[in-house]
Amino acid sequence: MVQIIADRRDVDFNLYEIFNAQELCDHKKFKEFNQKTFNMIVKEARNFAIKEMLAVYKDGDEIGVNFEDGTVKVPDSFHRVHKLFCENEWTAPASNPEFGGQGLPYMVAGAIKEYMMGANWPLYAYASMGVGTGRMIETFGTKGQIETYLNKLYTGKWGGTMLLTESDAGTDLGALTTTAVKNFDGTYSLTGNKIFITNGEHDLCENIIHPVLARIKGDPEGTKGISIFIVPKFLVNPDLSLGERNDILCTGAEEKHGIHGSATCSLALGSKGNCVGYLLGEERKGMNIMFNMMNGARLSTGAQAMAYASTAYLYALDYARNRIQGKDLKDILNPKAPSVPIIHHPDVRRNLLWMKSYVEGLRSLIYYTLNCMDRSGCEIDKKRQEKLDNLIEILTPIIKGYSSERGYEVCIQAMQVFGGAGYIRDCPVEALARDCKITSIYEGCTGVQAMDLLGRKAGMNKGAVFMDFIGEIKSVIEKAKQDENIKDTAQRVETAVNRFHEIASHLGRKTKSLEIDVAFAHATPFMEIMGDICMAWMHLLRANTASYKIAAKPKKRDRDFYTGQLKTAEFFIHTILPVTMGKMDVVADTVSTAIDIPESSFGGL
Amino acid sequence: MVQIIADRRDVDFNLYEIFNAQELCDHKKFKEFNQKTFNMIVKEARNFAIKEMLAVYKDGDEIGVNFEDGTVKVPDSFHRVHKLFCENEWTAPASNPEFGGQGLPYMVAGAIKEYMMGANWPLYAYASMGVGTGRMIETFGTKGQIETYLNKLYTGKWGGTMLLTESDAGTDLGALTTTAVKNFDGTYSLTGNKIFITNGEHDLCENIIHPVLARIKGDPEGTKGISIFIVPKFLVNPDLSLGERNDILCTGAEEKHGIHGSATCSLALGSKGNCVGYLLGEERKGMNIMFNMMNGARLSTGAQAMAYASTAYLYALDYARNRIQGKDLKDILNPKAPSVPIIHHPDVRRNLLWMKSYVEGLRSLIYYTLNCMDRSGCEIDKKRQEKLDNLIEILTPIIKGYSSERGYEVCIQAMQVFGGAGYIRDCPVEALARDCKITSIYEGCTGVQAMDLLGRKAGMNKGAVFMDFIGEIKSVIEKAKQDENIKDTAQRVETAVNRFHEIASHLGRKTKSLEIDVAFAHATPFMEIMGDICMAWMHLLRANTASYKIAAKPKKRDRDFYTGQLKTAEFFIHTILPVTMGKMDVVADTVSTAIDIPESSFGGL
């Protein structure tokens, strides 16, 4: 059977052969599960994604959402599938079972999400965004808030959002103008306008719980004066039934490049002077609380891009195996030679292998990070836990920034494999490319991820976190160097990592000098390089695992798969990593041209 | 005034300071023109593009074309502008005045086209595609055919197309199944189905002249059995009035990723057994004749991509100068510091300069090639003419393949500058990105350009053409090395070009060996490298020209412009060319991974 969305063999390779999800079941947190139950759950998720979610994807893309009179209607066909999605309890696979979650490891939840996001992200997000809102309430809310909202959010009955952006406060949230005034009853009255709110209004859930960033009147300017409030669309009665409609109104839904099935709304708060909000956590701690959720959203966005890329790759691969066009290169002059599937053509093979190397490298990097989250959740040694949490922190901007960029390029290259057919709306990868473009933009665009990496993460704990990161790679290299099959490849990665360490230190020093501007002009290239290094690391780990498995003389199907891993690692490390070496020369050189050029010399005036 | 579509200062820099279009007026072919008339014409074209064509662009994107009952309707607003376009004689600026063309140099026509393609390519193409058809008839047609079709095509009264693709014959035209049978009167009866035909049917022109690739019954299989026929939508009476409707019917118009205003049609020929075609040129010479036109179409496609990129860059630049968001990096901890335009932020500057370097490098490469065409047209020394024509030949796949890929990336980076606003349909760059994607797909996708370059062009005349190409670059390097301001930069280009020469020879040898498959797995990377080398060459030429002009102490506005050229060259050569060095290491290494990997190891089964 042709694989759709994600190659199940590769998902299992990550889960059970590289990162050993089954070992988590030894821990009491996951003792109710075993590899068999994991398998069953992933299988069900895959079936549901393909049979139900993918089947209505086109409705989202073609019909889109319909804004009228303050309401947003999703395509009719979304309703049945959304209901099934919630009934089958797919909303919160890794959340706390006490509040309606399924308590699965993040890694297994990651496999579920891959299929669902690749099949129909807009539909998936309506049900799942409430989990982000819920997690924030679980972490920072009062007992009463937890009791009021959590179960409804984790079970998809109510939706969630995040109201950050305003027309003059995008990347710079400190500039926001939404205000909150404390009332006598301890609630707050909010006034302001928010834009670009994913799922800000829709007709799939009976209520929507909006976390809203706002400034309490009199609080300081900038980010340190920001608080966060829970603003429900319908106020909630003490018996948890729905009360009055709150004064938060949808004023429009955007027409977009892609994700047409997802409602991107503008919302007016307090236009009648009566928008009720409840403080979440302490006053003026809004940014901290928001970032706690934002980190999860960024990892999820990286995974979203990878899911699109994986889906696009599998469509392109299937097309390349079946599309007959042209002769084999060596038969080009022989008129009697048969036409062949385009996967025979060297340039198509190169392109497919290029796509494969990113899809699988990104998948492993994401599962690696989810594995860190799972291990952190089981860890009792605080120091070891902190180390895992810090690795997650340093990898988050890479997963968001690098995966969204490379994932998009994979979608675009998939269009290229289809040729003219790839430009037509009927072609499944056409919409994937449009949808994927959002991932490099929302939840902090690529440049913001690069600044987060260089400005905050790379220097965390005086560089100790960075050294742990390098250490993780070096331990893989050391092991791979023992393996005759991949020794040379491992040495190439070692050279690259050593060089990377040098340029990271060099650039880090510049961020602390008068040349801070110049350093940050190299932030995005630095993030790209670190992403490449992560890919090389993951491919070496994959190749090492595959090489070990091949030695046990597996059946043909498995042997083909493992051979694919060795070849993909070789491809990435021998044909992409040398280009990264060139990129590192540029960072080492750190020219100041982008800073020096006068503004008028950019032209256009 | 803010520049739109193309920066006129840069257009003039290319026309008059780098490539000296004014000198062409010394030749009798262009003696009626001078720099002043060129300027006036470009100014008029720019006004027309902005005021008329750009004004109706959104109608094309949003309304699109409407297929019904064999007819295709373009948006209503296109009719008036198309009529003006033809009346103002913009259809055939560089064509033979004897037949309705304007007889301008290709370089000046290139400036006109930049504005028009950037403003509204779909509308532009309805009128201009007839020129491609016309040029083919002018070159290969009989006197009668020239008299019948040429003036109508060059003046836009009749449209033109090219009917190549069939559902099983895309890249491999040799597989086409459209047949032609010779009738007693010397005409042919055609039968077949063509797809993806740009402007195959529409209501803007009174007639459409289709050049059709088909195989005469009994002729050999493959490309060598292909002939080309003129198939008019309406047959033409001896007095040039329109006669009977020919049996060529539009069966559909595609819904596409972009260029919604352009009709991409499927056409059925001879479904009633009565499709009349007239042989163009000799029987079985169809591929040669088609390629003659295709080369022009490929250059034009590269220019189309550059025009999109230039337009997107100028929109992004203007936004970056006006969008206030965040503080300067050095004031980040000062709550009193003002918010600034985002062009102050290092990552935005880097991104803008990256875009600028491609837009301007590509523009110069295209004007260089147009200049070769102009000089070839004036040349009486056959040897010198041949040399120029060969340079055009070797540059054609670069301009098509490289410009379409980089031009698209520029559009995507422009979206990124807009952030969330870039993903919204209201944002002008959103549609540009979708439109630009077609350029890497049609007229031979990027992989086809790469194969053309490596398989045909790089080895032309036993490598003599390639050596001429290298010689052209070296002469620019030699001159730049005399200039103290750019000596170091010139040396970097020299190192890169020498290395490029080595790897080109290396890869060329492989194409003639048993490792031909492996060589061709590096065809696209090789084309990318050669494109980078061309950019470095052009930037050095630009910087050298600018440096010379700065020495003459020009006014501030000009000095700013020239400084921009020096900085852009420095940026490209110091931060992009080192990455190219890495790419060259990969080609030198020529790993065979993409060929070696077994098909089943790509996964997905």
User: Residue B332: pLDDT band by 50, 70, 90 thresholds?
Assistant: confident
Across the interface, of B221, B314, B601, the residue whose CB is closest to A604 is B314
DSSP B122-183: HHHHHHHHHHHHHHHHHHH--HHHHHHHHHHHHTTSEEE--B--BTTBSS-GGG---EEEE-
Does the structure show a pLDDT above 80 at A547?
A: yes
3-class state of residue B208 by DSSP: strand
Give per-residue pLDDT as tens, A241-262. 999 999 999 999 999 999 999 9
Across the interface, of A437, A516, A581, the residue whose CB is closest to B329 is A516
Give per-residue pLDDT as tens, B158-180. 999 999 999 999 999 999 999 99
The residue in chain B having the minimum alpha-carbon distance to the alpha carbon of residue A2 is B605
Tell me the average pLDDT across B205-232. Answer: 97
Tell me the average pLDDT across A33-37. Answer: 98
Q: Tell me which H or E stretch contains B583.
A: helix B577-589
Contact yes or no for B516 and A600 at CB 8 A:
no
Across the interface, of A255, A314, A352, the residue whose CB is closest to B425 is A255
Give per-residue pLDDT as tens, B461-498. 999 999 999 999 999 999 999 999 999 999 999 999 99
The residue in chain B having the minimum alpha-carbon distance to the alpha carbon of residue A173 is B326
Q: Which one of B347, B448, B527, B555 makes the best mutation probe of the A interface by having the most chain A beta carbons within 10 Å?
A: B347
- H helices of A323-427, in order, are 346-378, 382-418
Query: How many Å lie between the alpha carbon of A346 and the closest alpha carbon of chain B?
Result: 5
The residue in chain B having the minimum alpha-carbon distance to the alpha carbon of residue A424 is B256
Residue B127 confidence (pLDDT): 86
DSSP A292-352: HHHHHHHHHHHHHHHHHHHHHHHHHHHHHHH-B-S--GGGTT-TTSPP-BGGGSHHHHHHH
Whether A9 contacts chain B with CB within 8 A: yes
Tell me if B173 sits within 8 A of B287, measured CB to CB. Answer: yes
Tell me which chain B residues have a C-beta less than 8 angstroms from the C-beta of A598. 560, 563-564
Across the interface, of B563, B596, B602, the residue whose CB is closest to A601 is B563
Distance CA A595, CA A522 (A): 11
User: Residue A334: pLDDT band by 50, 70, 90 thresholds?
Assistant: confident
Tell me which chain A residues have a C-beta less than 8 angstroms from the C-beta of B9. 603
3-class state of residue A96 by DSSP: coil
Q: Give the residue numbers of B marked as catalytic.
A: 443
Maximum C-alpha span of chain B: 89
Tell me which chain A residues have a C-beta less than 8 angstroms from the C-beta of B318. 604
Tell me which chain B residues have a C-beta less than 8 angstroms from the C-beta of A419. 170-171, 441, 445
Does the structure show a pLDDT above 80 at A67?
A: yes
Residue B271 C-beta-side C-alpha neighbours within 13 Å: 9
Tell me if A419 sits within 8 A of B441, measured CB to CB. Answer: yes
Question: Would you mind telling me the total number of residues written for chain B in this entry?
Answer: 605
End-to-end CA distance of chain B: 58
Tell me which chain B residues have a C-beta less than 8 angstroms from the C-beta of A522. 350
Does the structure show a pLDDT above 90 at B56?
A: yes
Tell me which chain A residues have a C-beta less than 8 angstroms from the C-beta of B434. 257, 434
User: Considering only residues 337 to 356 of chain A, which have any Cβ-Cβ distance to chain B shorter than 8 Å?
Assistant: 339, 343, 345-353, 356
Tell me which chain A residues have a C-beta less than 8 angstroms from the C-beta of B257. 415, 423-425, 430, 433-434
In this predicted complex, what is the ipTM? 0.98
Residue B120 confidence (pLDDT): 98
- Set A52, A166, A430, A443: catalytic member: A443
Contact yes or no for B423 and A438 at CB 8 A:
yes
Tell me the average pLDDT across B112-124. Answer: 98
Does the structure show a pLDDT above 90 at A304?
A: yes
> What's the mean per-residue pLDDT of chain A?
97
Distance CA B516, CA B463 (A): 18
Q: Which two tokens stand for residue B342?
A: 């985002």
Give per-residue pLDDT as tens, B337-353. 999 999 999 999 999 99
C-alpha dist (Å) from residue B188 to B30, B168, B185, B236, B269? 40, 23, 8, 15, 12
Contact yes or no for A424 and B257 at CB 8 A:
yes
Tell me if B212 sits within 8 A of B174, measured CB to CB. Answer: no
Whether B422 contacts chain A with CB within 8 A: yes
Does the structure show a pLDDT above 80 at A1?
A: no
Give per-residue pLDDT as tens, B75-108. 999 999 999 999 999 999 999 999 999 999 999 9
Residue A109: phi and psi, rounded to 5, are -60, -35
Tell me if A589 sits within 8 A of B570, measured CB to CB. Answer: no
Q: For chain A, what percent of residues have pLDDT higher than 90?
A: 98
SS3 per residue for B148-164:
HHHHHHHCCCEEECCEC
Distance CA A95, CA A99 (A): 8
Distance CA A254, CA A265 (A): 6
Whether B463 contacts chain A with CB within 8 A: no
Tell me which chain A residues have a C-beta less than 8 angstroms from the C-beta of B426. 255
Tell me the average pLDDT across B45-68. Answer: 98
Give per-residue pLDDT as tens, A500-531. 999 999 999 999 999 999 999 999 999 999 99
Tell me the average pLDDT across B255-272. Answer: 98
Whether B181 contacts chain A with CB within 8 A: no
Number of H helices, E strands in chain A: 18, 12
Name residue, tokens 């400005």. A455
Tell me if A584 sits within 8 A of A503, measured CB to CB. Answer: yes
User: Considering only residues 522 to 561 of chain B, which have any Cβ-Cβ distance to chain A shorter than 8 Å?
Assistant: 522-525, 560-561
**CB proximity list for A488: less than 8 A, separation 6 or greater:** none
Name residue, tokens 């473009």. A437
Does the structure show a pLDDT above 80 at A106?
A: yes
Residue A332 confidence (pLDDT): 82
Contact yes or no for A586 and B596 at CB 8 A:
no
Residue B1 confidence (pLDDT): 75
Contact yes or no for A335 and B220 at CB 8 A:
yes
Tell me the average pLDDT across B420-445. Answer: 97
- H helices of B419-442, in order, are 428-437
Residue B425: phi and psi, rounded to 5, are -60, -25
Does the structure show a pLDDT above 80 at A306?
A: yes
Strands (DSSP E) contained in A33-107 are 66-68, 71-73
Whether A449 contacts chain B with CB within 8 A: no
Tell me if B21 sits within 8 A of B33, measured CB to CB. Answer: no
Q: Which one of B358, B423, B432 makes the best mutation probe of the A interface by having the most chain A beta carbons within 10 Å?
A: B423
Closest Cα to residue A347, out of B448, B529, B530? B448
Tell me if A176 sits within 8 A of A213, measured CB to CB. Answer: yes
> What's the mean per-residue pLDDT of chain B?
97
